[in-house]
Amino acid sequence: MKGVQLFVVPGLPAFQPGDDVAARIVEQLAEMGEGLLPGDIVVVAQKIVSKAEGRLVRLLDVEPDEQAQQLAELVGKDPRVLQVILEESNEVLRARRGLLVVEQRSGWICANAGVDRSNVQPDEESEYLALLPADADASAAALRARLAELTGVAPAVVVNDSHGRAWRIGTVGVAIGCAGLPPLWNQRGLHDLFGYELISSEECIADELAAAASLLMGQSDEGRPVVVIRGYHPPALPAAPAKTIQRPANIDTFR
């Protein structure tokens, strides 16, 4: 590997439910004189996937129950927002002023079940909340298949989101869905430069790709939700879903 190139797909629209995300990507690539090449990896922000799949909740229509109201008082959030978060969660893990950490319905441990209102356009009466895709691995696989249908090239696809981390301050891009690549590279049994055998090394390829793309995507009003990564060649391992990244609860010492 001589080098890796990352570039933004510019000029994408504000996505709406039912939009063909793959077709918009292909159109904008053509506008910039680009096309997909074999081996490309397309990293897509979760928010546009959620919008296109209609994973939106109108806040005005939400009725908070007693649990949501009690948690809202503790956390300091709108009870209606807490109701949506609880409906998207398997379990509440931590709650304090300003923070709610849950196991989201797909198994991701994250703040607020990934529910937020940033970059989601309100209507005249109400704000909307975006939820994570119901199955981001399926979303990635569908996007990959549609890109292959339109271009003849089936790139690997990563759906990324911004998550905090247990040990560090600040959010970072992580993969919540992927298709066409191995998300993890178990390097146990390999050797370092001095011949020592690796005992516990596992590289999370999907998260590294998501984080790299997030540098270009930005976190606020940049409007750059799709990044193409070119020149990175994953190890020759079977493709798998991003859910294989999730640490089982019985070995998760931070639960």
Indicate whether 119 and 142 sit together in one domain: no
100: left (phi over 0), alpha (psi -120 to 50) or beta: beta
Indicate whether 64 and 170 sit together in one domain: no
Average pLDDT in the 249-254 region?
87
Nearest to 210 by CA among 172, 238, 251: 172
26-85 residue pLDDT tens:
999 999 999 999 999 999 999 999 999 999 999 999 999 999 999 999 999 999 999 999
Angle between helices 136-151 and 21-31 (to 10 degrees): 50
Does position 218 have pLDDT exceeding 90, yes or no? Answer: no
pLDDT of residue 200: 86
Q: What's the CA gap between 204 and 161, in Å, rounded?
A: 15
> Looking at residue 26, which CATH number applies to its domain?
3.30.1330.100
For residue 37, the enclosing domain spans 5-53+133-246
pTM of the prediction? Answer: 0.94
Indicate whether 201 and 235 sit together in one domain: yes
Q: What's the CA gap between 81 and 96, in Å, rounded?
A: 15
Model confidence at 221, pLDDT cuts 50, 70, 90, reads confident
88-130 residue pLDDT tens:
999 999 999 999 999 999 999 999 999 999 888 888 889 999 9
- Domain contains 196: yes
Residue 195 one-letter amino acid: G
Does position 165 have pLDDT exceeding 90, yes or no? Answer: no
Q: What's the CA gap between 30 and 118, in Å, rounded?
A: 29
Grouping H, G, I as helix, E, B as strand and the rest as coil, residue 25 is: helix
Indicate whether 150 and 29 sit together in one domain: yes
- Mean pLDDT score across all residues of the chain: 95
pLDDT of residue 222: 83
Per-residue burial over 162-199, b if 16 or more Cβ lie within 10 Å, else e, is: bbeeeeeeeeebbbbbbbbbbbbbeeeeeeeeeeeeee
pLDDT of residue 61: 96
Pairing of strands 89-96, 56-58: unpaired
Model confidence at 2, pLDDT cuts 50, 70, 90, reads confident
- Domain contains 253: no
Does position 1 have pLDDT exceeding 70, yes or no? Answer: no
- Domain contains 251: no
- Domain contains 255: no
pLDDT > 90: percent of the chain? 83
Phi (first) and psi of residue 90, to 5 degrees: -85, -35
pLDDT of residue 108: 96
Average pLDDT in the 206-231 region?
93
Indicate whether 46 and 140 sit together in one domain: yes
- Domain contains 222: yes
- Domain contains 199: yes
pLDDT of residue 183: 97
